[in-house]
Amino acid sequence: MTTRDQIIETADRLFYHGGFEATSFADIAEAVGISRGNFYHHFKTKDAILEAVVTLRLARTRAMLEAWHTEAPDPRGRIRAFIHMLIANRAQIMAHGCPVGTLCLELAKLDHAAQHRAAEIFGLYRDWLAGQFHALGHGARAEALALHLLGWSQGTAVLIAALRDEAFLQREVAGIEAWLEGLPLSPNTPHKDPACSSPS
């Protein structure tokens, strides 16, 4: 792995754990084990390293979504792979929140130029999930369902980071899966009796 890649990798981790603003050039350089001068040779500004991190996250998200697409045979299984992230990464989420949500919120507060590019990670999930809901037969509502699921998982991530309530996480994941199973298969099915996603 090149020095540049090590820098991006380390910055990605430190930005997630401590936030973008609170992580300094010196922190990254020390964690990588190089001098600040060497760091500067690869990245002239802090915005440049942030842009590289966002680019890395976009690429990794795309790769993960593609992997889910090939590994899971049906749309419901793929959506379940998305939901499973909350369980698999629960320790990290409880400690530092969701990497995407926390970065977007911080960049929004800083009014940073890269905030829209960071939000594009959410866009990837939204479009991919919408594709799965479309495959499940929900044509016009596919994107709305995707955003609903995305928001549901984001809210769960925020609360478990703030309250460290793992039982709540388990209930919400169960609730999301029940909601997914209960979705009408056909989009033309009238939705007269709107169901509720109350925790079991």
Partner DNA sequence: ACGAATCTAGGACAATCGTCCTAAATTCCC
Partner DNA sequence: GGGAATTTAGGACGATTGTCCTAGATTCGT
Question: Which does residue 40 bind out of a copy of itself, DNA, none, counting CB within 5 to 8 angstroms by kind?
Answer: DNA
Binding of residue 60 to a copy of itself (CB under 8 A): no
| Residue 26 sits in the site that holds DNA (CB under 7 A) | yes
5 binds DNA (CB under 7 A): no
Distance between CA atoms of 107 and 112, rounded to whole angstroms? 5
Strand, helix or coil for residue 93:
helix
Going from the C-alpha of 76 to that of each of 145, 163, 178, the distances in angstroms are: 13, 30, 12
Binding mask 146-165 for a copy of itself (x = CB under 8 A): -xx-xxxxxxx-xx-xxx-x
Q: Rule CB under 8 A: is residue 59 a binding residue for a copy of itself?
A: no
Amino acid at 9: E
Distance CA 45, CA 194 (A): 51
Identify what 9 binds: a copy of itself, DNA, none; CB under 5 to 8 Å per kind: none
Q: Which residues contact 127 (CB under 8 A, 6 or more apart)?
A: 146
> Restricting to residues 37-96, which ones interact with DNA according to CB under 7 A?
37-38, 40-42, 44-47
For the segment 112-141, give every residue that binds a copy of itself (CB under 8 A). Answer: 118-119, 122-123, 126, 141
What is the DSSP-derived secondary structure letter of residue 111? T
What is the nearest approach in angstroms of DNA to the Cβ of residue 42?
7
47 binds a copy of itself (CB under 8 A): no
| Contact between 57 and 123 (Cβ < 8 Å) | no
- Written as six digits, the tokens of 50 are 């942030």
CB closer to a copy of itself, 73 vs 194: 194
Query: Rounded CA gap, 170 and 138, in Å?
Result: 27
Q: Which does 109 bind (CB under 5 to 8 A by kind): a copy of itself, DNA, none?
A: a copy of itself
